[in-house]
A and B are shown apart, each in its own frame.
Chain A
Amino acid sequence: MSDRVGICAVAQTPWVQNLWGQRFQGLALGVVEDLRRQTGLGFGEGTGIDATVSVSDDLYDARTISNNALTDVLGAHHGCEEKVAQDGLQALTYGLAMIRSGHAQVVLVVGHCKESQGQSRNQVTHLAFDPFFTRPVGLDFLAAAGLQAQAYMARSGLSARHLAEIVVRARAAGAANPFTPEVTALTEDEVLASPLVADPLRQAHVSPVSDGAVGLILASEDRARALSDTPVWIEGVGSCLDTFFLGDRDLAAPWALQQAAARAYRRAGVSDPTTAFDLVELSDPYAYQQPLWLEGLGLCPEGKGPRFLDGGGAERANVNRSGGVLAGNPVLLGGLVRAAEAALQLMGKAGARQVPNARRALAHGTMGPAGQFHAVAVLERD
Chain B
Amino acid sequence: MTTKRRNVGIIGVGQTVYSSHREDVNQPELIWEAVDLALKDAGVTLDDIGCVVHGNMELFEMVHQPDLWHVLGTGAYGKEALRVTTGGTTGATLACVGDQLVASGLHDLVLVVGFEKLQEGHTTGGITNMADPLWGRSLQTGALTGMTAQAVIDEFGEERAKRAAMRHRVIMDRHAMKNRFAHRRFGLTFDQIDDLARTSPPLVGELRMIHMCSQSDGACAVVMAGQEVIERLGKKAAWVHDHVTVHREETFTLFGEEKVKPTMRVAAERLFARNGITDPRRQLDLFEMYDPSSWWGLDWLREFLLLEGDAHLKMVENDEIALDGPFPVNPSGGVVASNPIGATALVRVAEAANQIRGCAGDHQVTKTVRRALASGFGGTYWTVLLLLGADPLPLPAPGGAA
Q: Which residues of A contact B (CB under 8 A)?
A: 1, 3, 45-46, 51, 57-59, 62-65, 67-69, 71-72, 76-86, 90, 93-94, 96-104, 124-132, 237-244, 256, 259-260, 263, 267, 367-369, 372-373
Within 8 A of A (CB), among B157-172: none
Interface centre among A104, A124, A131 (most CB of B within 10 A): A131
- A294 to B1 Cα, complex, angstroms: 43
> For window 106-147 of chain B, which residues contact chain A by CB distance below 8 Å?
106, 126-127, 129-130, 132-133
Would you call A59 and B58 a contact (CB within 8 A)?
A: yes
- Asked if A72 and B254 make an inter-chain contact with CB atoms under 8 angstroms apart, the answer reads yes
Could you mark each residue 91-102 of chain B with 1 if its beta carbon is under 8 Å from any beta carbon of chain A, else 0? 001001101111
Out of A58, A67, A243, name the residue touching B71 (CB < 8 Å). A243
User: What are the 5 tightest A-B residue pairs by CB atom distance, in nearest-first order?
Assistant: A100-B104, A101-B103, A65-B87, A80-B245, A76-B247
Cα A267 to Cα B101 with chains together (Å): 14
Tell me the bound Cα distance from A94 to B104 in angstroms. Answer: 10
Q: Indicate if the CB atoms of A129 and B69 lie closer than 8 Å.
A: yes
Residue in contact with B249 in the complex, picked from A57, A59, A77, CB distance below 8 Å: A77
Q: A128 and B65: CB pair below 8 A? A: yes
Pick the most buried of A82, A96, A128: most chain B CB atoms within 10 A of its CB. Answer: A82
Ordered by A's residue number, 9 sampled pairs between the chains whose C-beta atoms are within 8 Å are A51-B245, A59-B64, A68-B87, A82-B97, A94-B82, A96-B106, A102-B3, A239-B80, A372-B68
Q: How far is the CB of B376 from chain A (nearest CB, A)?
A: 11
Q: Mark B35-79, 1 if CB is under 8 A from A, else 0.
A: 000000000000000001001011110111111110110001111
Q: Are A263 and B248 in contact (CB under 8 A)?
A: no
Our pick among A58, A76, A98, A256 for the contact of B57 (Cβ within 8 Å) is: A58
CB contacts (< 8 Å) of A129 on chain B: these are 69
Residue pair B4, A101 in contact (C-beta under 8 Å):
yes
In the complex, the answer to whether A373 meets B126 with C-beta atoms within 8 Å is no
What residues on B are CB-neighbors of A82 within 8 Å?
84, 86, 93, 96-97, 245
Count: A-B pairs, CB below 8 Å: 213
B20 beta carbon closer than 8 Å to chain A: no
**A64-B87, A130-B26 as given contacts; A78 in contact with B64, CB under 8 Å:** no
* Residues of chain A within 8 A of B1, CB atoms compared: 45-46
Q: Chain A residues with Cβ under 8 A from B249's Cβ? A: 71-72, 76-77
Enumerate chain B residues within 8 angstroms of A237, measured Cβ to Cβ: 106
Task: Give residues in B with beta carbon < 8 Å to A.
Answer: 1-6, 26-27, 52, 55, 57-60, 62-69, 71-72, 76-87, 93, 96-97, 99-106, 126-127, 129-130, 132-133, 243-251, 254, 261, 263, 266, 270, 378-380, 402
Q: Of A72, A85, A86, which contacts B250 at CB under 8 A? A: A72
Instruction: Give the Cβ gap from B287 to chain A, nearest Cβ, in Å.
Output: 21
- What's the minimum C-beta distance from B113 to chain A, rounded to whole angstroms? 12
Q: A69 contacts B247, CB within 8 Å?
A: no
- Nearest chain A residue, comparing its CB with the CB of B398: A1
**With A59-B59, A80-B245, A82-B86 given, is the CB distance from A101 to B5 under 8 Å?**
yes
Report whether A83 and B69 are in contact in the complex, using a CB–CB cutoff of 8 Å: no
- Report yes or no: B68 in contact with A132, Cβ–Cβ below 8 A: no
> Contacts of A58 on B, CB cut-off 8 Å?
57-59, 85
Answer whether A101 and B67 are a contact pair too, CB < 8 Å, given A238-B80, A242-B77.
Answer: no
**Which A residues are CB-close (under 8 A) to B69?**
128-130, 244
